[in-house]
C-alpha cells in the first residue's frame, strides 16, 4: 500500500475514533455473548448484549482489531443502545453493501460508518470492519432465543 493510500485509508477521523471506543467493559450478566474473528487479519471482537422489550439495553465490547475495526466498533458503540434487532441487521447489511457493492452509507444513527468508505477498495479489511455489527446482530438473535426458551 502506497503512503498516499495509507493516508487516505487511515484518516484523522478514523484515528480519533480508535481512541473513542465506548462500552469497552464487558457486561457482568449479559443475555448473550458472541465472539467474532476475521480470519484474514486476526482482528477479533467480543460483544456482550442485554436486550429488553426488543431493544438493546446493555452493551459491552472487547475489541482487538486494526484501526478500521476499532473505528467501526466506536461508531457502533455510540449508536447501539436502544436499537432493535431489525435496525442492527439493516445497519450490518448496509455497511456490507457500502463496502462490497458501492452502496449508500448506512442510515442514521449508524451513518458515522461513512468514515469507512475509503476501505471499500481494500477487501481484506472488510471482515474486520463488519465484526462488531456481525457479533451484535448474532448476540441479539441469541438473546431473543434464550428469552423465548
Query: In this structure, which topology does domain 3-148 adopt according to CATH?
Result: Sufe protein. Chain: A (3.90.1010)
Please identify which residue in the block is written with the cell numbers 487479519.
Answer: 41
Q: What is the pTM of this model?
A: 0.91
pLDDT at 147: 76
What pLDDT shows up at residue 4?
Answer: 47
pLDDT in tens, the chain (149 residues): 454 444 466 677 888 898 999 999 999 999 999 999 998 888 999 999 999 999 999 999 999 999 999 999 999 999 999 999 999 999 999 999 999 999 999 999 999 999 999 999 989 899 999 999 999 999 999 999 887 76
The answer, yes or no, to whether the previous bond of 109 is cis (omega within 30 of 0) is yes
CA distance 83 to 17: 21
Amino acid at each position: 500500500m502506497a503512503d498516499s493510500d495509507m493516508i487516505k485509508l487511515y484518516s484523522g477521523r478514523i484515528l480519533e475514533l480508535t481512541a473513542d471506543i465506548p462500552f469497552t467493559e464487558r457486561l457482568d450478566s449479559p443475555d448473550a455473548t458472541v465472539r467474532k474473528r476475521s480470519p484474514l487479519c486476526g482482528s477479533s471482537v467480543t460483544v456482550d448484549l442485554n436486550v429488553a422489550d426488543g431493544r438493546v439495553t446493555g452493551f459491552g465490547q472487547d475489541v482487538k482489531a486494526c484501526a478500521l475495526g476499532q473505528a467501526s466498533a466506536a461508531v457502533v458503540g455510540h449508536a447501539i443502545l436502544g436499537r432493535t434487532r431489525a435496525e442492527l441487521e439493516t445497519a450490518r447489511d448496509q455497511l456490507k453493501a457500502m463496502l462490497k457493492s458501492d452502496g449508500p452509507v448506512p442510515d442514521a444513527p449508524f451513518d458515522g460508518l461513512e468514515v469507512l468508505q475509503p476501505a471499500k477498495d481494500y477487501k481484506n479489511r472488510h471482515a474486520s470492519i463488519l465484526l462488531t455489527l456481525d457479533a451484535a446482530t448474532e448476540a441479539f438473535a441469541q438473546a431473543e432465543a434464550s428469552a423465548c426458551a
